[in-house]
Chains A and B, each alone.
Chain A
Amino acid sequence: GAGVSQSPRYKVAKRGQDVALRCDPISGHVSLFWYQQALGQGPEFLTYFQNEAQLDKSGLPSDRFFAERPEGSVSTLKIQRTQQEDSAVYLCASSEGTSVETQYFGPGTRLLVL
């Protein structure tokens, strides 16, 4: 069965460039989460959607980061004016509910900002 997919898998951006990262969750999953994982660290929560509603964006590091899920399925994480410290793996996860146990993760998008 189809799991969570993310695209692109790798992205190289020049500093100052805008990037958009896509997440296709498991069909029917209500909840969608974005995480940022820096090299050698564990994932850090960025934001949470329930259907199309962004219920929690407390983890977004700055106003350069913006996420949307307009139709309650596919989500896009946008980073404007990228900086070198934005280099990380961005993970998306989806779940039927909000339980931490039932989050299914995608393979991530590795972003490198030069």
Chain B
Amino acid sequence: DQQVKQNSPSLSVQEGRISILNCDYTNSMFDYFLWYKKYPAEGPTFLISISSIKDKNEDGRFTVFLNKSAKHLSLHIVPSQPGDSAVYFCAASMDSNYQLIWGAGTKLIIKP
């Protein structure tokens, strides 16, 4: 049973517009959530995180929103740039533990 789900395998967005990547989770014990970005032939790189005591965290063009009641989080990228084309993974942990539970990823394609 997947505890972290990214239901969209891929997403195509026009350059300059907003990209919204979604992630759902089932375990209410998760209290820390992260987004990673992965380019082909490279390992994932940490992008942004959010603790369950917050509902929003912003870093430049990237904002993560957390809706605990819906067990849903989203990553907003505004404005989207060609370099944002990558696979984005959502991950969750309990007690900020190093053991992360990962989603399957969403491939984001930014069209020029």
Enumerate chain A interface residues (CB-CB to B < 8 A): 4, 31, 33, 40-45, 48, 56, 58-59, 91, 93, 98-108
Contact = CB atoms under 8 A, between A and B. Distances in A.
Interface of B: 4, 9, 32, 34, 41-46, 49, 89, 91, 93, 96-100, 102-105
> From DSSP, what is the main secondary structure of chain B's interface residues?
loop
Contact of A105 (B4, B45, B93, B104): B45
Given A42-B89, A42-B105, A48-B98, A101 B43 contact: no
The 10 closest A-B pairs by CB, nearest first: A105-B43, A42-B102, A98-B98, A45-B99, A105-B44, A106-B43, A41-B104, A43-B102, A42-B103, A42-B89
A93 B91 CA distance: 15
Contacts of B100: 43, 45, 100
16 contacts: A40-B9, A41-B102, A42-B89, A42-B102, A42-B104, A43-B89, A45-B99, A59-B99, A91-B43, A100-B49, A100-B93, A100-B97, A101-B34, A103-B98, A104-B43, A105-B44
Contact of B98 (A100, A105, A108): A100
A102 B98 CA distance: 10
A56 to B, nearest CB: 8
A42 B42 contact: no
Given A45-B99, A105-B44, A106-B43, A100 B105 contact: no
A37 B6 CA distance: 15
